[in-house]
Structures are given as C-alpha cells and as structure tokens.
C-alpha cells in the first residue's frame, strides 16, 4: 500500500540520517541521555494529564467540564497552531514523489504520520491520549464518545500545524503581501484600537477570568464532551466537532494535490548585478545573505518575527491586560531568529564542499556567517524597536533596552550555535520549507539555552525595573557588552573546533 511505503521510506531515511552521525565517538551515550530526558518529560506530562483527566471527569457536571474542555482545546488546536507558527514546514519530500502515482490524500496522511513521529509532537500526543484515558477512567459511560474525540483532537493537532505552516509559507513566499499584512495587523492591534474595543467595559482581572472561563463553554471540545447522550442536539454537536478536522483534512489534501502536480518554479531571478566585497569574510557574509533572501525558509524567518511582534502584545493585552510588552516581543522575536545560528552551513548543504575547498580559514568562515546572520538580526531588531516606539507607543528606554536584549540573545545564541553547527550540521532545503526540523539534541540545546539566557535577562530586567527603572538602558547596554565579549572571546576556540570537524560537516550534508 502506498501510504505504508511512504511512511516507511520517510522513517527509514530519517533513521538512517540520524544513525549516520551515530557511528563516531560516544554520541550513543548522548542520545541515550536525551532519550531518557524525553522519556521522563513525556512520562511526567502524561501522568499529569491522566490525573487531570480523571479529576475533571469526576466533576463533569461542574467545573470539570470547563477544565477538561479548555485543556483539550489547548492541547489540540492551541498546540497545533503554535507548532504551525513556530515549526518546520513539510516533512515529506513531495516534490520527489511527483513521478509516482500516489493520491494527494495518501500523501497528506503520510505527512501527518511523519509529523506524529516528531519527538515534541509525539510527547503531546501521549499527553493528549492520557487526558482522554483519564476521562474514560472517571466516566466509563463516555468511552465511545471519547474515542471519537481522541481521533478528532489528534487530527486537529497534526492537521493544524501542517495547514498553518503551509499558509505561512505561502504568505512568506510573497514577501510584499506579508509586509502589507503585518502592517495592517499592526494598525489593527495598536493599543488605541484595543483600548477603543475594550472601551466602556473596565473590568478587573477576576472578572476577565470569569468571562474567559465562561467562553470556554463555546469551544468545540467542551461542547462535544458535554453533549447530551442522544437526540438532535448531540448529533449537531458531533457534526460541529467533526467540522474542524474535516476542514483541515480538505485543505491539507488540496495543498498536497497542488504541490504534487505543480511544476517546479524556475528560479529566474533577475541578475542583481555582480556584487563586490573587499575581504573574504565579507564575501562569505554576502553569499550567505543572498542565500537567505532567495530561499523560502530564509524569507520566512524574516517574516515570522514580524508576525510575532504583532501577536505577542495582542496576546499580552488580551490575557494579562498588559500594555507594555516590548521585552516579551523582543525575546519572542529573538527565538525566531536563532534557528540559523544553530546550523550555519545548513543552506550550503552539499555545496559546503565549495566553501571548504577555498583558501579561507575556519575563523573567516565563521566570521562571515555571523556577520550575515547578525546584521539581519540587527535590521530586524531595529524594525521592531521603531514599531514598538511609534505604533505601540512604548517608552524609548524600554525600546532601547529591548533592542539590547534582542541583540544579546542573538550574540549568545551565535556563540552557542557555532559549536552546534559543527556537531549537528544538516542540510536545509533551499527550494521549500521542507525538512527543517532540527534533531532532538539541537532542539534541547536551543530550548535550554534560550530559557537560561532569556530567563536570566528577563529576571534581571524585572529587578532593574522594580528597583532602579532609570538604569534600564545602562543595564541593557551592559548585557550587550557582556554578550559581545563572550562572543568575541570564543571565536578562536570555535574556529579550532570547526577546523577539526570540517570533514564531519561535509559528510553530514549529503
């Protein structure tokens, strides 16, 4: 059967890719450690969900329904959309499958199955399943309904990330439309508009919370779970609950079908003139920048933080009634830009051999790559700062401090990333958004690194704002200088590290 063959081929190549790297050194040990971490994390999460499901199931007529409905919705739609927003594009190499007679729906299901095997998603699936099991244990009578609900939620979790990812990719491919969209959203979500909408209702935090819990009643998950045992109402709610996943499947199949029959777009880039550069590192940087601007993935990385800067303040305002959001915006946006630090040679792919055969030292290579990624970050940070100052009317000092934090995070991530790039290099697709999911170790390094760096910056920022708000700018500049010092001091050891691993990088890029 085609579906089995597709999933098997994907699994085999993913497995082979990761074990190719395993042969050398004691990396088995590292992977075992990571697997244990993942296992413990997932186990903890699943147990918590099981308990939550059981507790909520015991009180389905009261607050339990709200709790279960909200959690189910958050774990399916919420996480699905979040992964779609932040995550990788298509996993399956659809372009390569064009020659074979496979149906779009088969492709879609293969893609969803491949997604389900991603470590983070798999953890979420286990948590989601545990939640349903917990509910079933508390309410054995609801088991048939819970089986349907589990299927619905799994499809939503997987389908939503695929569809949203594709949508964002399509928007990102048309950079001009994306910018107009961001502009319109920015205006729509500016504090004045929000204040006008919020206008007469001046509620306290508690009232807001009540209104929020009240609205949980209308979520499809809650309505399905709380449906009566029979009758037209039950049927109506079932249809309602199935509408979401069905819609996702339809859109997904349509996207796959389009992709499957599409002809490869010929890249007839206009000759942008022969560019010039003076030093080898500038040449490497110029090359890297031009690649970033020409690949969908690179463009997407530029647009995604812009979306974030619109979304984050809006979420902060809706949830916490918090007007000032600059630090959150900067930290979130920094997370969006860091992925390229962690795979400096990803876009070169096999062509990294071209760079390695040139008479340039590893230090030059690193400097050039950093120059490109960091100048992009600087540009993005500056746009963010201007936006926050002019549209969101945040204070200048907060904007400057935020920009410093943004750059510090980027510098620290670059420092970390040049080692990661030499240990876990992988080819990034230059023609689509496919196969960008980093290996688990990189995800973990990214996650922990980010938490450590962003956490410590956030904490000290809070302290400064609390005790000496006048010093927020010097604080930001200080953090930036510290970051820059660490960045500069580790360049030499990083270059030596890369020099010793050139062959590893080259052989990993196939």
Partner 1 sequence: MNALELFGVTKDFGAVRAVHEVSFALEPGSLIGLLGRNGAGKSTTLKMISGLLQPTAGRVEVLGRDVAKFPLETRRDVGAMPEEMALLDMLSGPQYLRFVARMYGLDTKTADARAAELMDRLELLPPRGTVIADYSFGMKKKLALSSALIHSPRLVVLDEPFEGIDTVTSRTIKDLIALLQARGVTVVLTTHVLEIVEALCPRVAIIEKGRLVGFGPLDEVKRTHATLEGLFLELVGGHRKGELSWL
Least spacing, CB of residue 348 vs partner 1, in Å? 7
Dist CA 68 CA 156 (whole Å): 17
Residue 79, both tokens: 């996480």
Helix (H) or strand (E) holding 487: helix 472-489
Distance CA(108)–CA(163), nearest Å, equals 11
Beta carbon nearer to partner 1, 248 or 376: 376
If residue 93 lies in a helix (H) or strand (E), which one and from where to where? none
- As measured in angstroms, the least distance from the Cβ of 435 to partner 1 is 17
Nearer to partner 1, 254 or 356 (CB): 356
Q: To the nearest whole angstrom, how small is the minimum distance from the Cβ of residue 290 to partner 1?
A: 6
Residues near 37 by beta carbon (within 8 Å), at least 6 away in sequence: 444
Binding site residues, partner 1, CB under 8 A: 23, 266-271, 274-277, 280, 283, 287, 290-291, 294-295, 348-351, 353-354, 356-361, 430-431, 499, 502-503, 506
Between 371 and 407, whose beta carbon lies closer to partner 1? 371
Rounded CA separation 38/246 (Å): 31
If we measure between CA atoms, which residue out of 57, 342, 402 comes closest to residue 226?
Answer: 57
Structure tokens at 132: 């349903």
172/328 with CB nearer partner 1: 172
Number of Cβ within 10 Å of residue 56's Cβ equals: 26
Closest CA to 102 of 182, 217, 25, 4: 4
Rounded least distance, CB 315 to partner 1, Å: 36
Cα separation, 97 vs 100, whole angstroms: 6
> Shortest gap between Cβ of 275 and partner 1 (angstroms)?
7
Token pair of 261 as six digits = 């029959």
DSSP state of 269: -
Residue 21 or 222: the one with the smaller Cβ distance to partner 1 is 21
Maximum Cα interatomic distance, the chain, rounded to a whole number of Å: 77
Q: Give the nearest distance from C-beta 27 to partner 1 in angstroms.
A: 13
- Closer residue to partner 1, CB minimum distance, 128 or 422: 422
Q: How many CB atoms lie within 10 A of CB 203?
A: 12
Instruction: CB nearer to partner 1: give 109 or 340.
Output: 340
DSSP state of 265: P
**Least CB distance from residue 415 to partner 1, whole Å?**
25
> What is the Cα–Cα distance from 328 to 455, expressed in whole angstroms?
11
Closer CB to partner 1, 15 or 462, in the complex:
15
389 or 430: CB nearest partner 1: 430
CA distance 374 to 411: 8
Report, in Å, the least distance between residue 273 CB and partner 1: 9
Closest CB 284 distance from partner 1, rounded Å: 8
């Amino acid at each position: 059967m085609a579906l089995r063959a597709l999933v098997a081929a994907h699994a085999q190549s993913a497995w082979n890719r990761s074990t190719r790297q395993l042969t050398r050194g004691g990396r088995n040990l590292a992977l075992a450690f990571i697997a244990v971490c993942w296992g413990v994390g997932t186990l903890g999460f699943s147990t918590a969900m099981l308990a939550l499901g059981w507790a909520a199931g015991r009180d389905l007529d009261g607050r339990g329904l709200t709790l279960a409905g909200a959690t189910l919705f958050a774990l399916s739609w919420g996480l699905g959309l979040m992964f779609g927003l932040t995550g990788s594009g298509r996993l399956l190499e659809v372009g390569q499958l064009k020659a074979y007679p496979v149906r779009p729906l088969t492709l879609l299901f293969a893609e969803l199955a491949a997604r389900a095997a991603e470590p983070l998603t798999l953890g979420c699936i286990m948590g989601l399943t545990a939640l349903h099991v917990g509910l079933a244990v508390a309410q054995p009578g609801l088991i048939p309904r819970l089986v349907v609900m589990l299927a619905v939620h799994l499809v939503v979790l997987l389908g939503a990330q695929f569809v949203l990812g594709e949508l964002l990719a399509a928007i990102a491919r048309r950079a001009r439309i994306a910018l107009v969209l961001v502009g319109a959203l920015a205006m729509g979500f500016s504090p004045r508009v929000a204040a006008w909408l919020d206008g007469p209702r001046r509620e306290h935090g508690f009232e807001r919370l009540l209104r929020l819990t009240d609205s949980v009643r209308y979520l499809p998950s809650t309505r399905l779970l709380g449906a009566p045992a029979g009758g037209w109402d039950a049927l109506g709610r079932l249809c309602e609950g199935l509408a979401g996943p069905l819609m996702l499947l339809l859109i997904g199949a349509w996207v796959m079908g389009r992709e499957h029959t599409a002809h490869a777009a010929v890249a007839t880039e206009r000759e942008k003139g022969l560019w010039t550069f003076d030093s080898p590192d500038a040449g490497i940087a110029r090359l890297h920048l031009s690649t970033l601007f020409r690949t969908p993935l690179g463009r997407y990385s530029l647009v995604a933080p812009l979306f974030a800067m619109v979304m984050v303040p809006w979420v902060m305002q809706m949830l916490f009634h918090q007007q000032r959001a600059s630090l959150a915006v900067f930290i979130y946006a920094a997370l969006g830009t860091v992925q390229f630090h962690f795979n400096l040679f990803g876009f070169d792919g096999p062509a990294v051999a071209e760079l390695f055969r040139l008479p340039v030292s590893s230090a030059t290579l690193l400097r050039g790559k950093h120059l490109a990624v960091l100048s992009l970050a600087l540009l993005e940070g500056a746009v963010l700062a201007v936006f926050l100052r002019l549209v969101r009317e945040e204070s200048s000092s907060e904007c400057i401090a935020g920009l410093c934090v943004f750059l510090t995070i980027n510098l620290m991530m670059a420092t970390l990333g040049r080692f990661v790039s030499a240990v876990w290099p992988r080819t990034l697709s230059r023609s689509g958004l496919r196969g960008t999911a980093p290996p688990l170790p990189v995800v973990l390094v990214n996650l922990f690194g980010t938490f450590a760096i962003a956490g410590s910056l956030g904490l000290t920022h809070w302290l400064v704002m609390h005790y000496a708000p006048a010093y927020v700018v010097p604080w930001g500049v200080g953090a930036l200088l510290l970051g820059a010092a660490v960045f500069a001091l580790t360049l030499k050891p990083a270059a030596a590290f890369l020099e010793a691993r050139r062959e590893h990088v080259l052989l990993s890029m196939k």
